[in-house]
Each structure stands twice: as structure tokens, then as C-alpha cells.
């Protein structure tokens, strides 16, 4: 199991488009993955609605928890995406 925390730097927070970008990463993942804003109410990382309802804003801390065979790869991709402010490569 991996647990990592990252701060949201995007001035728009994690709204529908960023949630969709996260789900694009997690949908085919073999691991279970959950995200939480400020340690409250865990959201399924494969559910765009659950992620959207998290309502993470700029400056919020997001905890990512993953458990499974590809956990490290998936967590690294999500952290990279958040650290880049959800800018496409």
C-alpha cells in the first residue's frame, strides 16, 4: 500500500476536467485507489462523480492511497498531474 500527500497548485482546483484526467489514469489501473481532501471523506479514484464531489481547491492537500500491483505507477502519474497544475503535456 502507498499513501502520498500532494498540494493542489491549480488556481481552479480540481474541477470536472481535472477529475476526468485523473480517471483517465486510474480507469485501467489494477490497483484500488482513493483520494481524500484534507483527510476527510475518501473518494474512489475511478469515479469522476466522487472526485468532483471532493471539491478540492487551490492549496488543499490531497492524500492518495493505492493498493495493488501497479500502485506506484498510478500514484506517481496522479502526483505528476497535480504538480503540473493539470496542464496537458
Active-site residue numbers? 15
Parallel/antiparallel/unpaired status of strands 32-37 and 40-44: antiparallel
Pairing of strands 32-37, 2-7: unpaired
**Sign (positive or negative) of CA dihedral 18, 84, 13, 63:** positive
Report whether 86 contacts 78 (CB < 8 A). no
Amino acid at each position: 500500500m502507498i499513501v502520498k500527500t500532494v498540494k493542489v497548485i491549480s488556481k481552479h482546483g480540481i474541477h470536472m476536467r481535472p477529475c476526468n484526467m485523473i480517471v483517465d489514469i486510474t480507469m485501467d489501473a489494477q490497483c484500488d485507489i482513493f483520494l481524500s481532501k484534507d483527510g476527510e471523506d475518501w473518494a474512489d479514484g475511478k469515479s469522476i462523480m466522487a472526485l468532483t464531489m471532493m471539491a478540492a481547491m487551490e492549496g488543499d492537500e490531497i492524500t492518495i492511497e493505492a493498493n495493488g500491483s501497479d500502485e506506484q505507477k498510478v500514484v506517481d502519474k496522479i502526483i505528476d498531474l497535480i504538480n503540473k497544475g493539470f496542464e496537458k503535456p
